[in-house]
Copies of this chain bind each other. A is one copy, B any other.
């Protein structure tokens, strides 16, 4: 099975990184399969062996980033809620993981693309994963409220406020800018958790 050999998996990953970078630069509709193929030194026909369409590529990029985000979030929920520790510490870990995955070479495309670029059944799958991810965050926020650590009454809105601030970073952050994803996570956590007011 050529598709699942180690060399093939490596090629697949290389194609996804390239596709993400082209989506980020040109948008989904501006990106071409030919350009993505050239970027990894393949003939367009060979690229279609790995991914049947541009939809396929976008879908694979989004799902892979979401998979990583979910794996990090599940680990943070599992490791720490039962063992004590502060909700603040957990939110800080979530923020670091979120920015690492969403600002890396693969994740950058996630926030950029039109949701509507995917056909309905694929969009539904991405939305379901996003919902699962948001639920993991919300559980941690709710835990902070229950313990009296957080002062909001609306865990859902607080979660969307935190995630919105982080997701927007995928739009303005640049790899050659002032801050690394980890530095950004710390600075944003200080404002979001401690408040802008003195």
A residues within 8 Å of B by Cβ? Answer: 26-30, 88, 91, 112-117, 141, 144, 148-152, 154, 157-158, 160-169, 171-172, 179, 184, 187-188, 190-198
Tell whether, in the assembled complex, residue B190 and residue A152 are in contact, meaning their CB atoms are under 8 Å apart: yes
Q: Which 10 A-B pairs have the closest CB atoms?
A: A164-B168, A195-B195, A27-B116, A164-B165, A151-B198, A165-B165, A194-B195, A27-B114, A161-B165, A193-B197
Say whether B149 contacts A161, CB under 8 Å.
no
For this chain, the copies found in one complex come to 2
| Separation of A195 and B164 alpha carbons in the complex (Å) | 15
Residue of B141, B158, B196 near A162 (CB, 8 A) is B196
Closest to A170 in B: B164
Contact of A117 with B27 at beta-carbon distance under 8 Å, contacts A150-B197, A150-B198, A197-B150 already known:
yes
- Verify B151–A196 contact, CB threshold 8 A: yes
Given known contacts A29-B114, A112-B114, A187 and B150 CB-to-CB distance under 8 angstroms: no
With CB as the reference atom, state the residue of chain B lying closest to A187.
B157
Question: How far, in whole Å, are A112 and B111 apart by their CA atoms in the complex?
Answer: 10
Q: How far is the CA of A177 from the CA of B113 in the complex (A)?
A: 25
Q: A112 to chain B: which residues have CB within 8 Å?
A: 114-115
Residues from chain B with Cβ under 8 Å of A169 in the complex = 160, 164
The docked-state distance in angstroms from the alpha carbon of A162 to that of B196 is 9
* A112, A152, A191 — most chain B CB neighbours (10 Å): A191
Chain B neighbourhood of A26, CB < 8 A:
116
Give Cα distance in the complex from A194 to B150, angstroms: 11
Chain B residues whose CB sits within 8 angstroms of the CB of A162 once the complex forms:
165, 196
- Does the CB pair B195–A193 fall under 8 Å? yes
27 contacts between A and B (CB under 8 A): A26-B116, A27-B114, A29-B116, A141-B196, A144-B196, A149-B197, A149-B198, A150-B197, A150-B198, A151-B194, A151-B198, A152-B187, A152-B196, A154-B187, A157-B184, A157-B191, A160-B168, A161-B165, A161-B188, A162-B196, A163-B168, A164-B164, A164-B167, A164-B168, A191-B195, A192-B196, A195-B195
